A = this chain, B = another copy of it.
Amino acid sequence: MRATLIYGAGDIRVEEVPDAAIRQPTDAVVRVLRSCVCGSDLWPYASQPAAERGRRIGHEFLGVVEDIGADVGGLARGDLVVAPFMFSDNSCEFCREGLQTSCRHGGMWGVGDVDGGQGEAVRVPQAQGTLVKLPVAEDSALLPSLLTLSDVFPTGHHCAVKAGVGPRTTVTVIGDGAVGLSAVLAAKRLGAERIILLGRHKDRTDLGVEFGATDVVAERGEEGVAKVRELTGGKGTHTVLECVGLEDAVNTALRVVRAGGVVSRVGAPQYGRVALGTASFLKNITFTGGVAPARAYIEELLPDVLEGRVQPGRVFDRTVALADTAAGYSAMADRSALKVLIRP
Contact = CB atoms under 8 A, between A and B. Distances in A.
A293 B287 CA distance: 18
A277 B272 contact: yes
A273 interface: yes
A286 interface: yes
Contacts of A285: 290
Contacts of A140: none
Interface stretch (A58-66, A95-103, A311-319): A95-103
A259 interface: yes
**Most chain B CB neighbours (cut-off 10 Å) among A101, A277, A290, A293:** A290
Given A94-B259, A97-B260, A274-B274, A283 B288 contact: no
A63 B286 CA distance: 35
29 contacts: A99-B260, A99-B284, A101-B282, A101-B284, A102-B283, A162-B284, A162-B286, A265-B281, A268-B278, A268-B281, A269-B276, A269-B278, A269-B281, A272-B277, A273-B276, A273-B277, A274-B274, A274-B287, A276-B287, A281-B289, A281-B290, A284-B289, A284-B290, A284-B293, A285-B290, A286-B288, A287-B287, A287-B288, A288-B288
